[in-house]
Amino acid sequence: MPTFRTARPVKHTPAQMFALVADVERYPEFLPLCESLRVMRRVQSGEGVETLVATMAVGYKAIKESFTTRVTLDHPRLKITVEYVDGPFKYLENRWTFRQTATGCDVEFYINYEFKSFALGILMGSVFDKAFRKFTEAFEERADEIYGVASRARA
């Protein structure tokens, strides 16, 4: 059961980074392994929380898989949680948090997963591990591209 956790300081506001990670439809443009992402359903609550169900297709060389997750975008708490619905995993849980700092924010990323198939786990495990290690970096680069490198933290 691979687990990966990181906290990365970035020079953008928590709100900017939350918006970037919440914009799941854009993932295929910059996220490692992500070939497509389709949102099938969105539900808004009256408290600034939105839940969506999305299917992501990932690929590496000849291996292609897709999986469906329920994503909860909790804007007031600047937290995003991802719960596994269907696909090649036994389970998958993922969390993002964004905490204000003096120079921007800390982006915290956590993922815990296991493939149903032992063979797929062996085949894709190291590829997924490398990709997850690059996720926060990919989001930071995307933030610099969208918000500018000089977009220093103003809450």
Asked if residues 94 and 115 have their Cβ atoms less than 8 Å apart, the reply is no
pLDDT band at 132 (very low <50, low <70, confident <90, very high): confident
CA distance 111 to 65: 18
The reported pLDDT for the residue numbered 152 is 45
The full set of domains in the chain, from first to last, is 3-147 (3.30.530.20)
Cβ-in-10-Å burial (0-12, 13-18, 19+) of 79 comes to middle
Say yes or no to pLDDT of 84 above 90.
yes
Asked if residues 80 and 96 have their Cβ atoms less than 8 Å apart, the reply is yes
The reported pLDDT for the residue numbered 73 is 98
pTM of the model: 0.88
